[in-house]
Amino acid sequence: MSDSNLSSTRKLLIVVLFVAGLSFLAIPYIRPDNVPVLLLFLGRLHPLILHFPIVLIILALALEISKRYFFPAMGEVLLTIILSAAALASAVSIGAGYFLFASGDYSGNLIEEHLWAGVVTGAFISITLSFYLLYSATRRFYRLYFALLMMSNAAVAYASHLGGSVTHGQGYLTEHLQLMLNDSNEDTGRPEGQELVFQDMLAPIIEAKCASCHNAQRAKGGLKLTVYQDMFKSGDSDNPGIRAGAPDQSEVLKRILLPTDHKDHMPPEGKAPMDRDEIALLRSWVSHGASDTVMVKDFKTSDTLATVIAHLGPKLKRYRMKAEIARLKINAIQSDLERIGETLKVIVTRDSSQAEPLFALAMKFPPVVITNENLSELRPYFEHFSKVSFTSAGLVDDQLYYIGQMTNVRELYLQKNGFDGSGLIYLQDLQQLEVLNLSFSKIDDKAAIDLLKIPNLKTVYLYRTNTTHQVIEALMKNKPTLTIVMEEGPLF
């Protein structure tokens, strides 16, 4: 066929689709100050709409491959309908996503990348449809059309990856891929037959079932179980966690074997207990001397133990996989936070005082002013902060709304800021907050009363504020667990 087979209507449609595709690329440069409420509402529909173009463009590629290699007689009308629907759905999805972006509820580099990925995807899909219509009329440009279809699917995959990262955290769609790429045939890193009972079998079980409460930072009952040598030390009960050769005198096993309704049973309610095979392996290991050098092959002293070890294989692999995924995820988060810290001119480090992989944020010197845009940049990572210092950051009361979403923060240093305390109400849902420094701020008596609403607050610094001694005494009387310090207090 030749160009003469193109009707004027089809020519116009092809041009419109091509131009529309290119025009999508201008969307990220448009930043309106005010967006109508109706459009903001439509923006909230973005997560519902975006699945349509994803499914349709993947289906179009599958259909084209089937038509080309397996079912040549498959009709072109169906493909035209699918590509047209994909182009329309992508345009609607991009529009909704843009209005969601314009609402200001989401911002930061990840959101910017997702917006760009979305508009590039829409551009590819619309241009792909234009070249498909051109090909179907002239039987020319097939390779270009097919290449565009492939690029559309690649763009969809990348945009979906970024969307998943926005919703579930960085690397959400790739964390298992990273694990597969890092995987080896040897789960333990040791040659087959050289696996160790403690390091390669018991340590993953203890990490999965006990480490959250019995680690160097949070040694519940005085017991530390994450380091081999610490397991043999006595806790608050004056009994060693593990007594080599004596399982019945080992505090760990005694607590594990208590009835589940006993107040001292370990782990506490709500946490996954060791199963029968895991307890059997731990008990046998303690009975045989609790050595960290005994090998698995030498430990199969009975058919029962051999069966237990065989049963544990799949569970141990799952524990190791979860631990490796968690490690890769927290490394990715740390990398992102360090990058954002450089941009915002703040310091982000791992908080070594916490057992969980949490982070500390502090101001550089001289400190910069922290804006709402800066807080929005950090917002996807709020739950990962345990210690935050915004000393001399120019914060105002409205910005405490953002800080009130840092659900795991334990220590908060907000001295030398300009707020009057009307925003302290936003901190009442911080269940973990124990230390709060408000020195050199305009906090008055009325605002100070809101400190009583922070459930687990233990220490507050109120030096050089507008609070009176009478109110301070009343606060401590009403909440005996609260200590109010009239000193400047630490910066971090």
Whether residue 208 sits in one domain with residue 164: no
Give the confidence band of 175 by pLDDT, cuts at 50, 70, 90: low
pLDDT per residue over 76-110, tens digit each? Answer: 788 888 899 999 988 888 888 888 777 766 666 67
Reduced to 3 states (helix: H, G, I; strand: E, B; else coil), residue 444 is strand
Whether residue 242 sits in one domain with residue 147: no
Whether residue 119 sits in one domain with residue 33: yes
Average pLDDT of the chain, as a whole number: 85
Confidence check: pLDDT of 193 > 90: no
CA distance 234 to 13: 80
Question: At 428, which CATH number?
Answer: 3.80.10.10
Whether residue 74 sits in one domain with residue 157: yes
- Find all residues with CB under 8 Å of 250, minimum gap 6, and list them: 239, 240, 241, 242, 243, 286
Whether residue 149 sits in one domain with residue 10: yes
Q: How many CB atoms lie within 10 A of CB 186?
A: 11
Burial group, residue 316, by CB count within 10 angstroms (0-12, 13-18, 19+): buried
State how far Cα 227 lies from the chain centre.
27
> For tokens 């609070």, what's the residue?
467
Least confident of 15-19, 244-248, 252-256, 325-329: 325-329
Burial 203-218 (b: 16+ CB within 10 A, else e): bbbbbbbbbebbbeee
In this prediction, residues 218-223 reach a mean pLDDT of 76
CA-nearest of 83, 161, 154, 84 to 120 is 154
Whether residue 404 sits in one domain with residue 356: yes
- Is residue 454 in some structural domain? yes
Give the confidence band of 353 by pLDDT, cuts at 50, 70, 90: confident
CA distance 97 to 329: 26
Structure confidence at residue 170 (pLDDT):
57
Q: What is the pTM of this model?
A: 0.59
**Angstrom distances, CA of residue 471 to CA of 94, 451, 456, 467, 475:** 54, 11, 19, 7, 6
- Is residue 475 in some structural domain? yes
CA distance 24 to 20: 6
What is the domain count for the chain? 3
Give the confidence band of 169 by pLDDT, cuts at 50, 70, 90: low
- Is residue 417 in some structural domain? yes
Q: Which secondary-structure segment (H or E) carries 411?
A: strand 411-413
Structure confidence at residue 224 (pLDDT):
83
pLDDT per residue over 472-488, tens digit each? Answer: 999 999 999 999 999 99
Whether residue 430 sits in one domain with residue 358: yes
Asked whether 386 and 411 are in contact (CB, 8 A), the reply is yes
Whether residue 158 sits in one domain with residue 220: no
Q: What are phi and psi of 480, to 5 degrees?
A: -60, -25
Structure confidence at residue 184 (pLDDT):
44
CA distance 222 to 159: 48
Q: What is the token pair recorded at 422? A: 């009307």
Asked whether 453 and 426 are in contact (CB, 8 A), the reply is no
Q: Where are the alpha helices (DSSP H) in 345-408?
A: 372-378, 400-403
Give me the domain span that covers residue 161: 3-171
Confidence check: pLDDT of 225 > 90: no
